[in-house]
Amino acid sequence: MSFNYRLSVCTLMFVCLATFVFAVPGVEPKVDFPGTFVYYRDYTYEDETYIGFLQYDAGTYALRYFSPQAKKGAKSIELYITCDTTKDFVEMTGERIVGEISQVDVETLNYLHDLFYELAARRKALSSAFNESVSSKEEYAQFGGEVFINFVPYIPIFAVQSILSTDKTELFKLVYIGILNKGNEFSDFSGLIVPKEIREQAVVVKKIAKTQKEVLENFCFTLDKQWTKDGVNWWLNTEDNEAVAMISPYFVSFSQDEKYAAEQMKLVSLITQDGSWIDFDSLEITEVKNKTQINAKIMQEDKVIRSISTFYKVTDTDYFVFVFSAEELVFKNNEKYFKKIIDSIKQTAVNPSVRQPKER
């Protein structure tokens, strides 16, 4: 099964964590790494339609309209814009349209411009300091009048999770977070592919009383002998030696002056690639003291994966991360067994001889 894509995402993101972060004009940057992009389902269109935003650097953005079943006009329109980085508001200094468009598409182009200006202005008006989710009741003519805009600090660019009507009908909703890399381009997004012919295994894990502690520096967790270690990961295989679950623990360090490490950790867990996407309707985030857990389904072409990432804050800039993944049906059939493993994680007394995570 395809578990390794989560590791490649994390590896790529932690390279980005050591680089600059940017934000829309007038907003303090938190999680806006170069190359991060978001796609929204726009329910104001009759046909299935997505709107995407990409931030290349401090002043360069890409906007995309994608409507695979559009009855008129282009099915995909991509627009690149540059902004004056000396201003604390959006002032465009240039733009380039990719591909050919017709007169029919001018309205769509204007809509993309308006969305960018409006969402940037509303994000700025919210204040850069917001640290928790906010539901803001606002007048928004493009969406029919009075709406609720739900802002979440770990979402890149505009921090917008959704826009709802006053009767809570979805108008504009986050469906995908990605980052540019080889094989995962902004223009590659082609909608949310619902898994077909799902081949899930109804595996029931054996109950083995004998367990052992696995220790990583000053953290430990408990596994039985059904798990096989391969490098830095642990795998649970069927009798046919096919992996149905994986555990991947690791440590992450941020620079000492990083103020938004917690939000950046959340973002890392929500980025997908290789045709996978987070089912944001299934997303649950729980925070208790120094522990944050992100639980969600990840949709793939032929399967559904349950991913549970748990972050333990060691210091303000150091984290221990425990990532668990399993096929959804395997997880459901053995939920108590798997949660017992996840809940077994303990932080031992800090030993001065233990290597401290290096500063990035």
Residue 76 located in a structural domain: yes
Residue 355 located in a structural domain: no
- HEC assignment per residue over 75-86: CEEEEEEEECCC
Q: Is the predicted pLDDT of residue 18 greater than 50, yes or no?
A: no
Question: Do 24 and 159 sit in the same domain of this protein?
Answer: yes
Backbone angles phi, psi at 345, to 5 degrees: -65, 130
Question: Do 117 and 41 sit in the same domain of this protein?
Answer: yes
CA nearest 30: which of 134, 164, 123?
Answer: 123
Which pLDDT score is estimated for 358? 42
Which pLDDT score is estimated for 20? 53
Which pLDDT score is estimated for 346? 93
Question: Do 174 and 309 sit in the same domain of this protein?
Answer: no
Q: Is the predicted pLDDT of residue 292 greater than 90, yes or no?
A: yes
Query: Across-strand partners of 136?
Result: 149
Residue 308 located in a structural domain: yes
Residue 357 located in a structural domain: no
74-94 pLDDT, tens digit per residue, is 999 999 999 988 888 888 889
- The percent of residues in the chain predicted with pLDDT above 90, rounded, is 49
Q: Which domain holds residue 309?
A: 211-347
Supply the CATH number for residue 262's domain. Answer: 3.40.1000.10
- What is the DSSP secondary-structure string of 71-126? SSS-SEEEEEEEE-TTSSS--EEEEEEES---GGGHHHHHHHHHHHHHHHHHHHHH
- Position 242, amino acid: E
Question: Do 35 and 168 sit in the same domain of this protein?
Answer: yes
Q: What angle do CA 272, 278, 283 make, to 5 degrees?
A: 135
CB 49, CB 41: distance < 8 Å? yes
127-136 pLDDT, tens digit per residue, is 756 778 899 9
Q: Tell which of 151, 173, 188 closes a domain.
A: 188
Band (pLDDT 50/70/90 cuts) for residue 9 is very low
Band (pLDDT 50/70/90 cuts) for residue 201 is low
Question: Do 238 and 301 sit in the same domain of this protein?
Answer: yes
Question: Do 152 and 273 sit in the same domain of this protein?
Answer: no
Question: Do 85 and 234 sit in the same domain of this protein?
Answer: no
Rounded mean pLDDT of 221-236? 92
Residue 336 located in a structural domain: yes
Question: Do 163 and 244 sit in the same domain of this protein?
Answer: no
Q: Is the predicted pLDDT of residue 359 greater than 60, yes or no?
A: no
Higher pLDDT: 354 or 284? It is 284
Residue 178 located in a structural domain: yes
Band (pLDDT 50/70/90 cuts) for residue 180 is confident
Question: Do 181 and 231 sit in the same domain of this protein?
Answer: no
Q: Is 93 exposed, middle or buried (0-12, 13-18, 19+ CB in 10 A)?
A: exposed
CB 61, CB 81: distance < 8 Å? yes
> CA 155, CA 263: separation in Å to the nearest integer?
9
Q: Is the predicted pLDDT of residue 203 greater than 80, yes or no?
A: no
Q: Is the predicted pLDDT of residue 15 greater than 60, yes or no?
A: no
- What is the DSSP secondary-structure string of 165-186? ETT--EEEEEEEEEE-BTTB-G
Which pLDDT score is estimated for 91? 84
Residue 323 located in a structural domain: yes
Question: Do 173 and 216 sit in the same domain of this protein?
Answer: no
Which pLDDT score is estimated for 350? 56
> CA 147, CA 76: separation in Å to the nearest integer?
27
pTM: 0.87
Which pLDDT score is estimated for 245? 94
Residue 31 located in a structural domain: yes
**How many structural domains are present in the chain?**
2
Question: Do 326 and 283 sit in the same domain of this protein?
Answer: yes
Band (pLDDT 50/70/90 cuts) for residue 175 is very high
Q: Pull the structure tokens for residue 169.
A: 């009908």
Question: Do 19 and 147 sit in the same domain of this protein?
Answer: yes
